Structure 1
């Protein structure tokens, strides 16, 4: 009997960000617009990367709104 175990994970990184007018609805801290990258890996090998924009809180890190872009 064989058993295969594969490791799949997903990592989200902030590539760059800048301040934006507005505040977080949760903690009332300032908000930032950020270029985000989500990378899906299968057995530590990247198989898919998505780039998107999001408005995030600079204090608590909550994603307030996201804007999906095409994959590169």
Structure 2
């Protein structure tokens, strides 16, 4: 019996740029990264999503925007 994973998630960085504001933890600059994620089932694409993730350039923490 063989068990194979048929679902896959691939993330691709589209671009990086400086975001306004400072990190609340260390006061460093905030960097915005545009990421495209693609879910696949048996090599067939199911869903494309583009998100913007925010990171601090000094302490490398991921920041949440509310």
User: Do both share a fold (TM > 0.5)?
Assistant: yes
Task: List runs of 5+ in structure 1 lacking aligned partners.
Answer: 68-72
Q: Does residue 11 of structure 1 match 2:10? A: yes
| 1:66 shift after superposition | 5.5
Report the counterpart of residue 53 of structure 2 in structure 1.
54
Report the counterpart of residue 23 of structure 1 in structure 2.
23
Over the aligned positions, Cα root-mean-square deviation in angstroms equals 2.9
Q: In the superposition, relative to structure 1, how do residues 46 and 64 fare at CA in structure 2: closer, same or farther (>3 Å)? A: same
TM-score, normalised via structure 1 length:
0.57
| 1:31 shift after superposition | 2.5
Aligned length in residues: 64
Per-residue CA distance 1:36-58 (angstroms, 9 max, x = gap): 21110111222110112221234
Task: List runs of 5+ in structure 2 lacking aligned partners.
Answer: none
